[in-house]
């Protein structure tokens, strides 16, 4: 039922975008929205500081007239997703609300004063750089004393004649310390501990109706085959599925893709601008997409796209 409602909303928004006039003047500081020119400025800034992003290639016939032909939308490909969001156990100590916050020196939201807003349910979880480098457990070594006790004592005899040792077939005996190659079928059959890494292509388009950026996602499995809607849902915050994130028709390719709904983007940005102004700081429009990518990660916490540049305010 929710999918039907979302489809109807998508059609209505398409009509709304068609009828909505293009925003010409800047209302960024007043309302947190962008006009097309500011979207391009913010896109160029994102590409400069996060080179994995680029302007997407597009048939000129599909270009929107209010944007440059070569700067219609942003794209980053093969973004890793190492774990499933549904497998991450919920922990209230990892939760953070991203709406009514102030901006600290590291570029994070702090000083929560109410329980309203965009909830990041995995804000404090370890990132990939803090996780163990290997997914296989390293067997623990015994103490030095036990190791020494297991080793045969030197009987003080003459050194071994290696030529005689080889000639007598000493190398053919079962040495407990020798390397033994595992049977291939056993190794290949044990796949339960193998980490299957998914990848995502991310697009950022300009939404003319809401006058803000909009994020789109297309997922692939470890064999580079497109993920179904149900499988992609495992990589999204379960608090946001079919609410903040829905399946919509891509404005350029007309294929169904997961999209983070933009209805609250301007509100979040406006709050941030006001709070920075109260502290004597100013947010420039070119930094918009870096901040945008920070707060939408609450919806897709395991998709590790590039937004890592420190924001200086």
Measured CA to CA, the distance from residue 250 to residue 203 in angstroms comes to 10
Question: If you write DSSP's letter for every residue of the chain in order, what string do you get?
Answer: -HHHHHHHHHHHHHHHHHHSPPP-S--HHHHS---HHHHHHHHHHHHHH-TT-EEPP--GGG--TTS-TT-S-EEEEEEEE-S-GGGS---GGG-EE-SS-EE-TTS-EE---SS-S-EETTTTS--GGGS-S-SSPPPPPPPHHHHHHHSPPP---PPP-HHHHHHTTGGGS--TTS--PPPHHHHHH--TT----EEEEEEEEEETTTTEEEEEEEEE-TTSPBPPHHHHHTTS-TTTBTTTEEEEE-TTT--EEEEE--TTHHHHHHHHHHHHHHTT----GGGHHHHHHHHGGGT-TTB--S--SPPP-
49 and 289 in contact (C-beta within 8 Å)? no
Residue of 50, 81, 85, 263 with catalytic role: 263
Q: Residue 183's Cα: distance from chain center in Å?
A: 37
301 and 121 in contact (C-beta within 8 Å)? yes
Measured CA to CA, the distance from residue 260 to residue 214 in angstroms comes to 7
Q: Is 85 one of the annotated active-site residues of the chain?
A: no
118 and 243 in contact (C-beta within 8 Å)? no
Catalytic residues: 263
């Amino acid at each position: 039922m929710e999918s039907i409602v979302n489809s109807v909303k998508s059609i209505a928004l398409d009509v709304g975008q068609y009828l909505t006039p293009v925003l010409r003047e800047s209302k960024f500081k007043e309302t947190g929205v962008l006009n097309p020119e500011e979207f391009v400025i913010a896109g160029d800034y994102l590409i400069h500081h996060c080179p994995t992003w680029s302007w997407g290639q597009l048939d000129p016939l599909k270009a929107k007239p209010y944007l440059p032909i070569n700067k219609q939308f942003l794209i980053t490909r093969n973004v890793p997703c190492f774990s499933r969001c549904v497998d991450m156990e919920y922990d209230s100590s990892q939760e953070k609300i991203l709406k009514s916050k102030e901006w600290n020196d590291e570029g994070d939201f702090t000083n929560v004063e109410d329980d309203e807003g965009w909830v990041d349910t995995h804000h404090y979880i370890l990132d990939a750089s803090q996780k163990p480098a290997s997914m296989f457990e390293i067997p623990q070594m015994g103490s030095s004393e036990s190791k020494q006790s297991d080793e045969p004592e030197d009987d003080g005899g003459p050194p071994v004649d290696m030529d005689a040792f080889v000639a007598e077939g000493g190398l053919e005996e079962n040495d407990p310390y020798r390397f033994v190659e595992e049977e291939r079928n056993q190794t290949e059959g044990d796949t339960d501990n193998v980490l299957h890494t998914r990848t995502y292509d991310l697009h950022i388009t300009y939404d003319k109706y809401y006058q803000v950026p909009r994020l789109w996602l297309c997922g692939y499995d470890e064999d580079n085959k497109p993920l179904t809607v149900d499988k992609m849902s495992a990589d999204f915050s379960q608090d946001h599925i079919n609410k903040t994130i829905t399946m919509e028709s891509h404005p350029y390719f007309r294929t169904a893709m997961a999209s983070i709904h933009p209805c609250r983007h301007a509100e979040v940005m406006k709050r941030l601008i006001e709070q920075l102004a109260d502290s004597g700081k100013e947010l420039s429009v070119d930094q918009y997409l870096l901040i945008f990518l920070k707060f939408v990660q609450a919806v897709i916490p395991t998709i590790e796209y590039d937004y890592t540049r420190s924001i200086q305010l």
